[in-house]
């Protein structure tokens, strides 16, 4: 029987779809939890599955999200998640068919771009995705962390209910001013604060929540954290694992780190694994070597579906006009497009028939589009072809941003 790729249609299929995800993500102990997850994915028309008879052998979900662009305009993003293929059905084109169906629907829906966080690097370039942001996990020495200046903000420990009431609104304020940031649905906050849990499970007691308030009492920072107890030579050598560390600016972010390192018995604080690759707060340290990057990795991957709409949604660093030839084997973005930007930073991208100044594949377009990677970099690697000398450098200037884009949430 041929494999059928289609949307999930019934509650029973949805429950089995959830079980397939749990097996694919190597968490089979979560099976049977589909009923609780239905509010997370209410639109079954965005849940894709591969069926081999009655067996679900592939999963993919398309999440309605927003992406903040350079210039701080927010556009719709087709957020790809929950991608699995059963080990019994690998190398049979299952993922290719699910991805093609999902991206076709996204293009028809009017989404100019799709995005995902890649667990494995080699998979998604063949579907036109390119890495657009980088992330790192920072570890600080709590015994020797000192700052060059006093830090603003007043810290307070809060309960999980207060955290759920305050943290989502703060995150929305942060993402509105952060190119590369995406929507974080409320159910993710409910899960992380212990409000969304399997039936009969007690509220978690190992997580603590803290808010930072400014002089007016407004919430300007939030962090969730837990302890790991260790003793070395009869001395406390504990660590803190922080997650969902969110702040309105680098000073308040530094204040959160200081709060974490101020705990007695703690010698090390490990931050979220989706932190900035080069955080500004680190420059406030007396000794920058007290904060060390551990795992550093590509994070948000972007797949442009409509170059005209997508590139018209961002601002530009310099007035110029260039024609790009976008190469896309799937056809979604293929064509020649003129980008014209003004002195005020505004810009417009339209299909055109003019001779191109440079050609680039669609995955490279996704990588450079937020300013995190430069066209000149890819020209040096001969992944961008210049027809007009200097065009890659000109595009690099147009696309440049004052700060690298950052996406602070796994989805």
Q: Which residues are catalytic?
A: 124, 411
Q: DSSP secondary-structure letter at 203?
A: P
| Pairing of the two strands 320-327 and 358-361 | parallel
Residue 260 burial (CB count, 10 A)? 23
Neighbouring-strand partners of residue 399 = none
Residues 6+ apart with CB under 8 A from 310: 75, 112, 113, 304, 349, 369
- How far apart are alpha carbons 210 and 219 in whole angstroms? 10
**Exposed/middle/buried for residue 382 (C-beta within 10 Å: 0-12, 13-18, 19+):** exposed
Are 291 and 139 in contact by the 8 Å Cβ rule? The answer is yes
CB-facing half-sphere around the CA of 354: CA atoms within 13 A: 17
Q: DSSP secondary-structure letter at 69?
A: P
| Pairing of the two strands 300-304 and 4-7 | unpaired
Return the closest-CA partner of residue 376 out of 354, 391, 357. Answer: 391
3-state helix, strand, coil in the chain (%, to 5): 30, 35, 40
Strands (E), 204-256: 208-213, 219-228, 231-232, 235-236, 238-247
- How far apart are alpha carbons 286 and 254 in whole angstroms? 12
Q: DSSP secondary-structure letter at 219?
A: E
Q: Exposed e or buried b for every residue in 121-140, given b needs 16+ CB within 10 A?
A: eeebbebbbbbbbbbbbbbb
């Amino acid at each position: 029987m041929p494999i059928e790729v289609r949307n999930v249609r019934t509650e029973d299929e949805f429950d089995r779809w959830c079980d397939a995800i749990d097996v694919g993500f190597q968490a089979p102990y979560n099976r049977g939890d589909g009923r609780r997850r239905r509010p997370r994915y209410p639109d079954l028309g965005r849940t894709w599955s591969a069926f081999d008879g009655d067996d679900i052998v592939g999963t993919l979900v398309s999440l309605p999200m927003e992406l903040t662009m350079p210039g701080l305009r927010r556009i719709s993003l087709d957020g790809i998640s929950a991608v699995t293929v059963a080990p019994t059905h690998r190398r049979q084109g299952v993922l290719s068919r699910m991805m093609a169906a999902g991206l076709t629907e996204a293009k028809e829906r009017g989404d100019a771009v799709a995005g995902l966080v890649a667990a494995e690097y080699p998979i998604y370039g063949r579907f036109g995705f390119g890495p657009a942001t980088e992330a790192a996990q920072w570890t600080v020495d709590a015994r020797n962390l000192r700052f060059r200046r006093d830090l603003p903000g007043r810290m307070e420990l809060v309960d999980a209910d207060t955290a759920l009431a305050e943290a989502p609104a703060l995150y929305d304020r942060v993402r509105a001013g952060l190119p590369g940031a995406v929507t974080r649905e409320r159910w993710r906050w409910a899960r992380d604060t212990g409000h969304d849990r399997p039936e009969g499970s007690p509220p978690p007691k190992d997580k603590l929540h803290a808010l930072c308030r400014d002089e007016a009492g407004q919430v300007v920072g939030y962090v969730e954290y837990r302890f790991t107890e260790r003793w070395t030579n009869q001395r406390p050598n504990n660590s803190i694992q922080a997650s969902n560390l969110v702040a309105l600016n680098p000073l308040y972010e530094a204040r959160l780190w200081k709060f974490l390192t101020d705990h007695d018995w703690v010698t090390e604080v490990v931050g979220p694994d989706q932190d900035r690759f080069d955080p500004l707060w680190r420059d406030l340290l007396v000794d920058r070597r007290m904060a060390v990057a551990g795992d550093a990795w590509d994070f948000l991957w972007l797949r442009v579906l409509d170059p005209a709409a997508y590139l018209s949604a961002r601002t530009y660093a310099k007035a110029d006009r260039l024609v790009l030839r976008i190469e896309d084997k799937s056809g979604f973005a293929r064509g020649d497009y003129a980008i014209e930007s003004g002195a005020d930073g505004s810009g417009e991208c339209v299909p055109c028939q003019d001779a191109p100044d440079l050609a680039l594949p669609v995955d490279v377009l996704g990588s450079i589009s937020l300013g995190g990677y430069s066209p000149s970099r890819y020209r040096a690697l001969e992944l961008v072809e210049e027809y007009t000398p200097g065009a890659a450098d000109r595009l690099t200037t147009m696309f440049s941003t004052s700060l690298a884009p950052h996406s602070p949430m796994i989805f």
